[in-house]
Amino acid sequence: MPLLLASFLCGLIFGFGLLISGMTDPMKVLGFLDILGRWDPTLGFVMIGALAVSSIGFALARRRRAPLLASQSLWPTRADIDAPLVAGSILFGAGWGLVGLCPGPALENLASLSPRVIVFVIAMSVGMILHDAWQRRARASREIDQTAAVTASDG
Amino acid sequence: MTAFDPFSALLGGALIGLASVLLMLLLGRIAGISGILAGCFYLSGTDKGWRLAFLAGLVAAPLIASAAGYPILSPQMPASWIIAAAAGLLVGFGTRLGGGCTSGHGVCGVARLSPRSIAATIIFMFTAMIVVAIMRHGFGG
């Protein structure tokens, strides 16, 4: 129960951050991405604020052996830049640029009950499920070849 | 056109960073929204529970803010349903293939100075800028 409450509060703080920073407004996001138009640098400051706190906080968190409410800290372990990372980031960037919503703000905007946001989130979930089903099939066929690869997700 | 507001942006960004640090300190998890959501579709038990709790907090934020009198605008979306759906599919599939989104790679990964996340962040930002340039200025604009 403390675990669920802590996670809820983290989501709540994250949501307030997206809201106050303007990330939940697709027009604001597109204004930042529109370098040929009237460029709105606001979201650059969101990154600066987020990175200032998270880089210091993560450096401190690294010193702890275990988190307070779980048995171990699951830090991502991969550092390589491979083809799926590049291809996936291109696809994600294309979708982000089309509408101005990335996963966090899209989910948060469900609260508005906007039908187009609901459609976006359903399509996003379908995209995730399709990818993961395809990956499981690919992994299953690789395991038949006895070359199981250990991967760590980034987040 | 939107107004430039660096103070709100810095404060909001700091809260996003704080939430990410707290999730690591308390649960030992990276606050990557695409990964948190995707896990909800195939995991069960506690591993699903904390994810749903986090997402519930995310959706509760604007409801609580609105109840406290903070003005919440309905997000402006494209007129076309097909574009909304296509963009959602691209974001869902792409973030899974690339292993993260703006939060997991852009904030948490860049803060850890992960070469993988820095590369991903540059690529998705650059691609999004190209798409916006084409959409807003490319077609007879």
| ipTM summary value | 0.94
Kindly report the average pLDDT of chain B as a whole number: 93
B46, burial (CB in 10 Å: exposed 0-12, middle 13-18, buried 19+): exposed
How far is residue A89's CA from residue A93's CA, in Å, rounded to a whole number? 6
Measured between alpha carbons, how far is residue B129 from residues A99, B87, B116 in Å? 12, 14, 20
Question: Would the CB atoms of B89 and A123 count as touching at under 8 Å?
Answer: yes
* Chain B CB contacts of A101 below 8 Å: 75, 87, 91
* Chain B CB contacts of A139 below 8 Å: none
pTM of the predicted protein model: 0.93
Q: Which is more confidently placed, B70 or A83?
A: A83
Q: What beta strand segments (E) does chain B contain? A: none
* Chain A CB contacts of B129 below 8 Å: 33-35, 97
- Shortest distance, CA A110 to any CA of chain B (angstroms): 7
Nearest to B19 among A10, A22, A75 (CB): A10
- Look at residue B3 and tell me whether its pLDDT is greater than 80: no
CA atoms in the 13 A half-sphere facing the CB of B58: 27
Close Cβ partners of A59 (under 8 Å, ≥ 6 residues apart): none
How far is residue B110's CA from residue A7's CA, in Å, rounded to a whole number? 22
The answer to whether A7 touches B23, Cβ cutoff 8 Å, is: yes
How far is residue A13's CA from residue A71's CA, in Å, rounded to a whole number? 23
The answer to whether A146 faces chain B, any CB pair under 8 Å, is no
Measured between alpha carbons, how far is residue A139 from residues A134, A151, B25 in Å? 9, 11, 32
Q: What are phi and psi of A54, to 5 degrees?
A: -70, -35
CA pseudo-torsion sign A31, A35, A37, A40: positive
CA atoms in the 13 A half-sphere facing the CB of A18: 31
User: How confident is residue B2, by pLDDT bands cut at 50, 70 and 90?
Assistant: low
Determine the number of helices (DSSP H) and then strands (DSSP E) in chain A.
6, 0
Cβ-Cβ pairs closer than 8 A, A with B, add up to 509
- Shortest distance, CA A146 to any CA of chain B (angstroms): 23
Q: Write out pLDDT tens, residues A12-67.
A: 999 999 999 999 999 999 999 999 988 999 999 999 999 999 999 999 999 988 99
Cβ under 8 Å to B: A residues 82-141: 84-99, 101-112, 114, 116-117, 119-132, 135
Question: Would the CB atoms of B24 and A49 count as touching at under 8 Å?
Answer: no
